[in-house]
Each structure stands twice: as C-alpha cells, then as structure tokens.
C-alpha cells in the first residue's frame, strides 16, 4: 500500500468517467427514487393493516430503511464485474496487465472515484431528506453524528465486501468469456439476500439467521441497521466483525480464483 499514489489516477479516471455519464446517473437516480416510492406506498399499505408496528419496525423505521438501503446500494456500487467482463470480451484487459499495478486495487480505485460522486450527489441529499422526514415525524431533530460515523465506518467494509464479491464474479469471465447472464443472476441474488429489498428480520427466522451470516447481509443490511440503532453494543461489534471476516474471506477467495483464472486468459481479437 506504500505505492498508493500510483492508484490515485484510477480514482480520478473513475470520477471523470462517472461525470461523463452524468445523464446516465441522473436517469438511474430518478428510477431508483421512483422505486423507493413504490416500496414506500407498498409498505404504507402493509403497515395500515397491522396497527403501527411490524416485527419491531415502526412505519417511520420502514421509511428510513427503504431510502437508506437504496442510498447505500448506490454508495457501495462496484463496476468490477462489468469492467473485467467487458475488458475480457474486447481484449483491452491486456492494457491493464501491462501496467505495474495490482489488478484488484486498480479496479477498486476506479470504483472509489465513482463513489465520491455518488456520495455527494446521491447519498448526502438522501441523508438530509431522511433527517427532515424524521424531524416532521417526531417533531425533534434525530440527527446522531455518532450513528452517522458508525454507519460510514460499517459502509466502508460493505464497500470492500461488495467489491471483492463482485471481483470473484468478474474473474469468472476468464473462463466463461461472456458474463452477461451470469451477472444478472448475481445482481438479483445480492439485491434479495442483502436485505436491501426486504428487511432480513421479516423473513422466517430459519432463513433469516443463515442469511445474516452470509456475506450479503454485510453488504447493506448491517450499516443500515446500525444507522437505525437496531444494532448496538455487542450486536454492533459482532456485526462489524462479521463484515471484516467477509472482507478477508472474499479477498482470499478472489485471489485464489485469479491465480487459477489468469492461466485461462485468452485475449480475444488480436
């Protein structure tokens, strides 16, 4: 990591690319916001028929959950699978391999560049929106700097878990050459199992408990629960430790896959 300076240009590149595709981001944002509102009205109907709370969640908890989950998904978004797959299909992976940089770090820093943009453009406005909502709901400001910091701390592990998970899939392109169908499968798995669609606590315990141990919960559920104050004390510490565990695990797994995969590389098209 002493050569971190060598990777800064990749972040800059990721940032500039993200800006270049700002209409793309804007379209995405509007789409996601619409989606969040659909979820909002859906859950509103559900809560109207349950009399206030559902499995420990009040309706205002649910609102925070919906919007924050979506914002988190944006924040930790990784292009690794897509980038590796595309570079293999068109053969430009060669240009990355002839640079004296690590493959994983160069991809990660590219992602981080985009993260800076989504943090400013999407996450901060969403957070302000949530706090304003809570102010009107409870009549007092509920802002807790400690919770926000803990959220960001946990979210950075989420980023790493998601990144290395994505990378494992990306390396599959070395064997499969084309990843399109495979990456759709991955995305639906992540969306469902990470608890960003439905709080994992809403699932039957027999499913919820094993899913919570899987890396997916570490991707977005953990930081959101921390922000909402659902985890505290030892529960919080063990949830974060689980995240750290998955970062290390997925890092090791992705390195192993890469060690095998690189022998299978056949550069397509010249």
Partner 1 sequence: MITVENAVKDFRKVIKQPGLKGSVQALFKPGYQVVHAVNDISFEVNKGEIMGFIGPNGAGKSTMIKMLTGILYPTSGNISVAGYDPQKQRQQYVQHIGVVFGQRTQLWWDLPLSETFTVLKEIYQVERREFEQRMGYLNDVLDIAPLMTSPVRTLSLGQRMRADLAAAMLHRPKVLFLDEPTIGLDVVVKDNIRKAIANMNKVDDTTIILTTHDLADIELLSHRIMMIDHGKLVYQGTLNDLKDKYGKSKKIEFVISDINQPIQQLLSDRFSQRGIECSVDQEKGTLIYDRSIPSALILKELLELVSIKDISIKESDVESIIKQIYLAGDKYE
Q: Which residues contact 48 (CB under 8 A, 6 or more apart)?
A: none
From 101, 121, 176, 228, residue interacting with partner 1 (rule: CB under 8 A): 101
The CA distance from 135 to 137, in Å, is 5
Q: How many residues bind partner 1, per CB under 8 A?
A: 27
Residue (98 or 206) nearer to partner 1, CB: 98
Q: Which of 70, 81, 74 is nearest to 195 (CA)?
A: 70
Binding to partner 1 in span 16-75, by CB under 8 A? 16-17, 20
Residue position matching structure tokens 């595709």? 21
36-63 per-residue burial string, b: 16 or more CB within 10 A, e: under 16:
beebeeebeeebeeeeeebeebebebbb
Q: Does 13 bind partner 1 (CB under 8 A)?
A: yes
CA atoms lying within 13 Å on the CB side of residue 121: 19
- In contact, 61 and 199? CB cutoff 8 Å: no
Q: Does 1 bind partner 1 (CB under 8 A)?
A: no
Site string for partner 1, 69-98 (x = CB under 8 A): ----------------------xxxxx-xx
Residue position matching structure tokens 């750290």? 244
From 23, 45, 49, 266, residue interacting with partner 1 (rule: CB under 8 A): 266
Q: How far is the CB of 91 from partner 1 (least distance, A)?
A: 7
Q: How far is the CB of 108 from partner 1 (least distance, A)?
A: 15
Binding to partner 1 in span 200-229, by CB under 8 A? none
Residue (3 or 22) nearer to partner 1, CB: 3
From 44, 56, 102, 213, residue interacting with partner 1 (rule: CB under 8 A): 102
């Amino acid at each position: 990591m002493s050569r971190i300076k060598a990777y800064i240009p990749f972040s800059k590149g990721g940032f500039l690319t993200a800006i270049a595709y700002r209409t793309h981001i804007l379209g995405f944002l509007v789409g996601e916001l619409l989606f969040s509102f659909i979820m909002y009205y859906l859950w509103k109907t559900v809560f109207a028929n349950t009399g206030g709370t559902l499995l420990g969640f009040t309706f205002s908890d649910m609102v925070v959950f919906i919007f924050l989950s979506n914002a988190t998904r944006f924040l930790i978004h990784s292009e690794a699978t897509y980038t590796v797959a595309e570079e293999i299909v068109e053969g430009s992976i060669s240009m990355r391999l002839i640079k004296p940089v690590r493959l994983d770090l160069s991809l990660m820093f590219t992602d981080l560049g985009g993260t800076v943009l989504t943090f400013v453009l999407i996450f901060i406005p969403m957070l302000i929106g949530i706090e304003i909502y809570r102010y009107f709901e409870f009549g007092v400001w509920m802002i807790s700097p400690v919770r926000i910091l803990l959220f960001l701390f946990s979210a950075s592990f989420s980023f790493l878990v998601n990144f290395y998970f994505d990378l494992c899939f990306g390396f599959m392109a070395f064997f499969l050459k084309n990843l399109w169908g495979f990456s759709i499968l991955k995305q639906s798995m992540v969306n469902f199992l990470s608890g960003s669609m439905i709080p994992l606590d809403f699932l039957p315990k027999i499913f919820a408990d094993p899913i919570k141990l899987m890396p997916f919960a570490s991707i977005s559920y953990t930081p959101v629960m921390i922000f909402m104050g659902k985890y505290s004390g030892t529960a919080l510490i063990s949830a974060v430790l689980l995240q750290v565990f998955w970062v290390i695990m997925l890092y090791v797994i992705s390195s192993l896959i890469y060690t095998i995969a690189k022998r299978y590389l056949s550069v397509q098209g010249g």
